[in-house]
Amino acid sequence: MLRALGKITPTPGTPIQVTSLIAGAQASEPCHGVMIQARKGNVGVAYVGNSAMSRAAETGLFAQLAIPTANTIPSFTAALTLAPNAINLADLWIDVDSNGDGVIVSVLIA
């Protein structure tokens, strides 16, 4: 089942765990796949990383989502279709460069 989790709008420099969108989230929130897309109105870069991510040092990053344009909206996707529920959403964190910027998160779950 495809599930839209919603938007995450972190304070710049304060990463937010993707599971913050899930009421009663556990330490392990498994899914088949995830898509994280920059919000259309972003004016800075959005970052996808792990719990140790540092956008300044560029460590712990999985992706840097550039500023959207009229023709493109950057996204990060991960899927393990041969290993059901092998991705743990609790391992994904979001940070941004500018106030008000954020991402939209969708997941594929069993």
Residue 50 makes CB contacts below 8 A (sequence gap 6+) with 60, 62, 91, 92, 93
Q: What is the pTM of this model?
A: 0.92
When pLDDT is averaged across residues 27-42 and rounded to a whole number, the result is: 92
Residue 78 makes CB contacts below 8 A (sequence gap 6+) with 33, 34, 62, 87
Please check the confidence at residue 72 and state whether its pLDDT lies above 90: yes
Return d(Cα 52, Cα 99) in angstroms, integer.
Answer: 21
Return d(Cα 73, Cα 39) in angstroms, integer.
Answer: 8
Q: How many CB atoms lie within 10 A of CB 11?
A: 11
Residue 13 pLDDT: 94
Token readout for 103 is: 């991402």
User: What percent of the chain clears pLDDT 70, i.e. is strictly above it?
Assistant: 100
